[in-house]
Amino acid sequence: MTSEQDRWSRVKSRLRSNVGEDVYTSWFARMDLEAVQDESVRLSVPTRFLKSWIQAHYAERVLSCWQAEMPEVHRIDLTVRSAVRPIAQPKEVAAPVEVRRMDGRPAQELRSTATAPVSATHDALGGSPLDPRLTFASFVVGRANTLAHAAARQVAEGRRGDPVMFNPLYIHAGVGLGKTHLLQAVTWAGNSGSERKVLYLTAEKFMYGFVAALKTQTALAFKEALRGIDVLVIDDLQFLQGKSTQAEFCHTLNALIDAGRQVVIAADRPPSDLESLDDRVRSRLAGGLVVEMGSLGEDLRLGILKSRVAAARAHHASFDVPEEVLTYLARTITHNGRDLEGAINRLLAHSKLNNQPVTLEMAEREVRDLIRPQEPKRIKIEDIQRVVARQYNVSRSDLLSSRRTANVVRPRQVAMYLAKTLTLRSLPEIGRRFGGRDHTTVLHAVRKIEALVSKDTALSEEVESLKRQLQE
Ligand code: ADP
Ligand code: MG
């Protein structure tokens, strides 16, 4: 069991270094190991969208990372786990899809054994399932989330017809920092007691609902029904894709906001970084209140652990975690809330199965793989511009300007090169962020610097030093 987990940790590290930190966090942070059996490994992800994305883009790499650890593995089954206990409606669990590679050929066969029929409007408007544990009562407030929490509370306490204070409320934060928890808390609070209709949808659900509605030609009914709600809560907006869905999202957003209905959105990045959305949507999103939730500080982590233990004790009265263990976990599991939850679940499972009290020694053993080295931080284009400008003694506006003097051109090219290599931003997006330049200009800059660093040691050292400053 433990060795299986160890192996899984190693596979994850391989994957992480293989695809890079950003890609890893976006697509694989929520992938769990379900089982290893003979030649096949079963992995799960929380949403259908993640499943299809990983299958379409990363199936081979996941398999080869496993093969590097376990050569006998020939198949990866990716399933959608029901992450939450459905309340409103039974959640369909998508059938596993196989990823195979035969005789080492790099061909991939993706076979969808069954596709659950989506019943158009009903399905979309039933909302995404809610987890009964994710309420305001169990949400711990700390420095990282005070503002987001206050704003969410305010929204949840509104009544039909009240003037809307900030619209949309847009919350962004990295994985596992409490976005879904907060959004579901708003939904629970809003739907209990008040006469308002609050609808919680993942962006994925919004997409599938809309696409399905279009197929069955009930798009009109879908739109009407969507517009008939008081609060629309959309989670993981970064996954919204496709032109027609976006256009529809844009209409819905405008219609709701103009009608004085509240919209609450969560995403893993600020509106300005949602590259695939068009400018009008972005500016509409940025026009309300945009709040970032920071990483969980140690106090907050301790609070979350305590709240988890208290919740577990409601069902397992004998379960107890000594203070020193909680302190240890809060100090060492720094990554995100999901790992904190995982740690408590493991201690609970272990102490129940073996009928043993939780001790520090047991905790150290059980959560070893959850303790990760400090994550490299996410680098922003603004940071790159700031650091480069400082290094070359020019201003940031020089970098964005159209000036072509040598003392600005080179730093600008270096900055664009760093933006391409250190972030996941596309060339057009980088061009846009550098004073509205064309993507070919960015490409030219990237190639130029690439060519230069291989011959010019001084420049290459400068670039390395800039990278270090940015990664600090
Ligand atoms: P996100 O949607 O931002 O990826 P989640 O809301 O799913 O993150 O949070 C991950 C886990 O951490 C959940 O179990 C959640 O309950 C817990 N968590 C995160 N922040 C808090 C908080 N402030 N209080 C209580 N639990 C939290
Ligand atoms: Mg979430």
Average pLDDT over residues 133-145: 93
Ligand 1, pocket-test mutation among 175, 204, 304, most atoms within 8 A of CB = 304
Please give the torsion angle defined by the CA atoms of residues 141, 142, 145 and 151, in that order, rounded to the nearest 10 degrees: 50
pLDDT tens digits, residue range 189-217?
987 766 788 999 998 888 877 777 766 76
Tell me how far apart the alpha carbons of residues 256 and 252 are, in angstroms, rounded to a whole number. Answer: 6
Contact 467, 422 (CB under 8 A): yes
For the entire predicted model, the pTM comes to: 0.60
Average pLDDT over residues 334-346: 89
Start-to-end C-alpha separation, the chain: 37
Give the confidence band of 184 by pLDDT, cuts at 50, 70, 90: very high
Write down the CATH number for the domain with range 136-292. Answer: 3.40.50.300
pLDDT tens digits, residue range 161-179?
788 888 999 999 998 999 9
Tell me how far apart the alpha carbons of residues 343 and 322 are, in angstroms, rounded to a whole number. Answer: 14
Architecture of the domain delimited by 298-370: Orthogonal Bundle (1.10)
Write down the CATH number for the domain with range 381-471. Answer: 1.10.1750.10
Q: Give the tokens for residue 41.
A: 């490994």
Tell me how far apart the alpha carbons of residues 116 and 218 are, in angstroms, rounded to a whole number. Answer: 19
Nearest alpha-carbon partner for 63 in 85, 40, 90: 40
Hey, what CATH topology would domain 2-113 get?
Answer: GMP Synthetase; Chain A, domain 3 (3.30.300)
Which amino acid belongs to residue 409?
V
202 within ligand 1 shell (Cβ under 6 A) = no
Domain ranges of the chain: 2-113, 136-292, 298-370, 381-471
- For residue 198, the surrounding DSSP H or E stretch is strand 198-202
Nearest alpha-carbon partner for 203 in 148, 140, 267: 267
186 within ligand 1 shell (Cβ under 6 A) = no
CA atoms within 13 A on the CB side of 345: 7
Residue 436's region, left for phi above 0, alpha for psi from -120 to 50, else beta, is left
Looking at residue 372, what is its pLDDT?
A: 67
Tell me how far apart the alpha carbons of residues 328 and 330 are, in angstroms, rounded to a whole number. Answer: 6
172 within ligand 1 shell (Cβ under 6 A) = no
Report the SS3 class of residue 77: strand
Which amino acid belongs to residue 393?
N
Contact 175, 338 (CB under 8 A): yes
Which residues crowd ion ligand 2, with CB under 5 Å? 179-180
pLDDT tens digits, residue range 60-91?
889 999 998 888 988 899 988 764 433 333 33
